[in-house]
Amino acid sequence: MRARFDGAVDEEHGREAAHPCFVQRCVKGVSSNRLNSHQVTQNKQHMSKPIIPESSARLHTLLAAGYALFIAYVSLSPFSGWSEQGLNFADVLDMPLKVTFTAFDAAINVSAYIPFGFMVALALRPRFSGMVSVVLAFCCGLALSSGMEYAQMYLPSRISSNVDMLTNSAGALAGAVLAVSIASWTWFFTRLARWRSGWFHYSKEADYGLALLALWVFGQINPSLPMLGNVFIAEAARQPFAERMPQPFGWWESAAVMLNLLMLGALLLTLLRAPRRVVTALAVILSMVAFVKFIAAAALLKSWALLLWINGEAMLGMLSGMTLLVAVLWLPKTAVSRIGVIAAIAYFAIVNFMVDGNTPAAAMSVYHWHYRHLLNFNGVAQTITLIFPVLLLYYLWRVRKA
């Protein structure tokens, strides 16, 4: 009985195995297994690739270009006295390294080019492999540094150095390696992309606006400028316990601070998906600027100048600007853009024609040290103050056309 049952089962299994439907199911099962294994392979390959959206790569390109302009400004300032010095660039390259080497300058040069290599590598990574991105970013850093050192041969106040080229290139290489190493952090870029898509618009105009926001923040962290102000602190004759001469209240300075905050608010209102978040965004940005200002002031300024960047003009201007921003918070986008245009034009006029701002060199007395790097830092802050309203007008025009 058991033998007959086993035979029947085998015969029935043989008939089922020979049935076309069974064969088709088996073929589908094998194909499905192959498809699943192919999907797993694709997923592994996808996980090994960087998760950097095209929009983020475009933003990194804009940031790298802006930082290259910053390096050019710092390297070639004050842009005067151009003349032939009788130097040959080949002689600069053959110069002994110990002639112009100092540990402080080497550290500054390496640190200055790390962000450039970092942003260039992040901009290249979605299109090239990690090794190619590192090599190209290093070549960009080397080309930029070589161009700056070559141009410095025609500036009497500058000294071309092969050590600067080596340290600058090393900084660009370090930044590129760091960028490529974190480009495969899928969890980080996924969360970053999700956070950005939840807060900001995705477009070419938004990328330009975010780069403009980063430029504004960089120009505001200078501790020798008042909070959101544009007049350098000049306290050359001030002593810790000396009596100060009374000075009139700077109403135009306060108006410039108010307009500066309005420009920032108009920029954020066009970038944010939810306009109601502008208050939170402003609080975070201003708190970050104040914190960095305080740290920079504690590290760079003299003790009696630690809190000079917080003055009455800045406080009144910020209070007035926040009041106006709350009033225009629920206006349509076109009205916000018009307010931003008016604020940018008014700010440009006040800064250039109404406020008697001090020169960057006038603030050097409040610093502990008098390195040229600090003077260049002041010059960059002043330049950003002057060009930001023009760049904002261009951005608002692009937003209107979009």
- pLDDT of res. 84: 82
Its pTM stands at 0.72
Query: What is the rounded distance in angstroms from the CA atom of residue 232 to the CA atom of residue 364?
Result: 10
DSSP sequence for 45-103: HHHHS----HHHHHHHHHHHHHHHHHHHHHHHTT----------HHHHHTS-GGGS--H
- In this prediction, residue 245 has a pLDDT band, given cuts at 50, 70 and 90, of low
Q: Could you give the percent of the chain with pLDDT greater than 90?
A: 30
- pLDDT of res. 21: 45
Taking residues 23-35, what's their average pLDDT? Answer: 42
- pLDDT of res. 55: 57
- pLDDT of res. 400: 79
Domain coordinates in residue numbering, the chain: 52-193, 200-401
Q: State which amino acid sits at residue 124.
A: L
Report helix, strand or coil for 126. Answer: coil
- pLDDT of res. 75: 86
pLDDT digits over 260-281, tens only? 999 999 999 999 988 888 889 9
DSSP sequence for 174-237: HHHHHHHHHHT-HHHHHHHHHHHHHHB--SHHHHHHHHHHHHHHHHH--TTS-TT--SPP--TT
Query: What is the rounded distance in angstroms from the CA atom of residue 50 to the CA atom of residue 239?
Result: 55
Query: What is the rounded distance in angstroms from the CA atom of residue 174 to the CA atom of residue 222?
Result: 26
Residue 158 has pLDDT above 50, yes or no: yes
DSSP sequence for 347-386: HHHIIIII--PPPGGGGGGGBS---HHHHHHHHHHHHHHH
pLDDT digits over 329-371, tens only? 878 888 889 999 999 999 999 988 887 766 666 677 778 666 6
